[in-house]
Chain A
């Protein structure tokens, strides 16, 4: 296993794109978070906004880059046929997939942590200037605040789980373009369908099983009662999606000819 981890690390480190994609995760996440923080205003008590959620809104953008990174870690090998070289070198296929998941997960963890830290820090100053003040019922954004810390840590884990989901899907379909399509479909389809469904019960059901809507519930620090699903339970839903994709992909990897 140690060897397999080193192999996957060497592969990702030496292929073009990994560094750029990781940088893009940070830049896009921070960029959109900053833009959102600038765009909102809290003009009085109970302005009904969630500062933590606003400052971390870039996650919904950064996740796309995470998906691309994770998919290409697998899809790049299938596209070139190099997967056969990999599986000839390491015949235990589950070991290969676990090693890929660990390395991709670790890289996303690092990039995601950087993105979230900078986003929260930027939000702390920008939102304060935009009226999110004690006077309007908002404490200054701080990781020392329990719910904000949960939102921040949860957002990093959210990105890692999206990465693992993408890795599993890519292993199952063995094609980068198809895998990206499926992952983006899974993430964005539920919110879109929920938006056009009129029955509120169905809307809530869809939101509770949606990997993105449920997963991002972990960012909420205000109005927890009106959430379709609890913050950690929501992240749990995304974990189930990721676990399902990874085990499905792993099973197919073991059963199919390389």
Chain B
């Protein structure tokens, strides 16, 4: 179990980061915090500044303004940083001729840890059968697991993972989801980036949505989905025309979304049932519409940043 200081230790605070690459603005006042005990999704199109922000958090990239703190301290001031922050930026960043185990071994040595800890994390990520093979022969999914193992070496309260499911097969993605959730459940702060909102469905508790180097939205996932779902009702009926007439007459906006389905906005589910019953319109299902995270993201980016929403949606596909 993690130390009791966890709640304080397990945070990332990013404040007003600014950085340019030549004339391109990479970070434009990036500000957010990552809380303990949650998986925080870090979402935005490619080029929005996710990786640059992560590199700044890890002290790899310098910034022109602002600061990034982990557990209240700048990364580069940490004596054994991997015991505070575990990170995975690029799963393929290893020398192919070294075995997975020896890769973890040198990393363990850098934190004053030994081979026993290596074997523990290898077991944890399910890579024991391949760990004595050359890492160059690993599939991308195996490299991601090795990367997660290296992030866990120091049993850190904070995890920073850049696109960890990239290139994983569906089974691997499911494993990663469960794994990230369990890490957060242990009280750790987990920051996971993705350029696909759908990847974070069922994984993230909170999302920080970024575009062009700054935060567009910083919101809880359930809250986000709720607001995107609105008071819409999905209706399944064989008498589509009649239903539209009745409901529109009662002031609702009705959209045809399938051969026998309608989406009704402006009326509660109860009211829809009462109206249809009163007019003897047959229907087989009335349910509150629940937006997917992807839909919510689309809606939000459309509202929040009218001028480049199209671009974000394009790359979100």
Contacts and interface: CB of A to CB of B under 8 A. Distances in A.
Interface stretch (A4-12, A153-161, A185-193, A216-224): A4-12
Nearest to B63: A257
A90 B110 contact: yes
- Give the one of B58, B94, B110 with max A CB within 10 A: B110
A6 B55 CA distance: 25
Given A81-B93, A84-B93, A88-B58, A10 B111 contact: no
Contact of B87 (A10, A15, A88, A257): A88
B90 A3 contact: no
B26 to A, nearest CB: 11
B114 to A, nearest CB: 11
Main secondary structure of the interface of A (DSSP, over half): helix
B90 A91 contact: no
B112 interface: yes
B290 to A, nearest CB: 40
A14 B118 CA distance: 15
Contacts of A15: 95, 97-98
B94 A7 contact: no
A44 interface: no
B102 A14 contact: yes
Interface string A168-189: 0000000000000000000000
Interface in B71-88: 75-76, 78, 81-82, 87
A81 B55 CA distance: 13
Given A88-B82, A89-B107, A257 B61 contact: yes
B276 interface: no
Interface string B39-71: 000000000000000010011111000000000
Contacts of B89: 84-85, 88
A93 to B, nearest CB: 9
A17 B97 contact: yes
B99 interface: yes
Contacts of B59: 87-88, 91
Interface in A44-95: 76-77, 80-82, 84-92
A91 B87 CA distance: 13
A88 B95 contact: no
A139 interface: no
Contact of A14 (B55, B58, B106): B106
Nearest to B87: A88
B261 interface: no
Interface in B85-130: 87, 89-90, 92-99, 102, 105-107, 109-112
The bracket for how many chain A residues form the interface is: 20 to 34
Interface residues of B, number: 31
A81 B110 CA distance: 18
A17 B82 CA distance: 29
A219 B120 CA distance: 53
B97 A258 contact: no
Interface string A215-246: 00000000000000000000000000000000
A90 B112 CA distance: 11
A196 interface: no
A11 B78 CA distance: 22
B99 A14 contact: yes
A10 B94 contact: no
B90 A81 contact: yes
A125 B195 CA distance: 70
Nearest to B110: A89
Contacts of B106: 7, 10-11, 14
Contacts of A80: 92-96
Given A80-B95, A85-B93, A89-B81, A14 B105 contact: yes
Nearest to A256: B62
Contacts of A4: 110
Given A3-B110, A76-B95, A84-B60, 4 more contacts: A16-B98, A80-B92, A84-B89, A91-B81
19 contacts: A7-B110, A10-B106, A14-B106, A80-B93, A80-B95, A80-B96, A82-B93, A82-B94, A84-B60, A84-B93, A85-B93, A87-B60, A88-B82, A89-B82, A91-B81, A257-B55, A258-B55, A258-B60, A258-B61
Interface of A: 3-4, 6-7, 10-11, 14-17, 76-77, 80-82, 84-92, 257-258
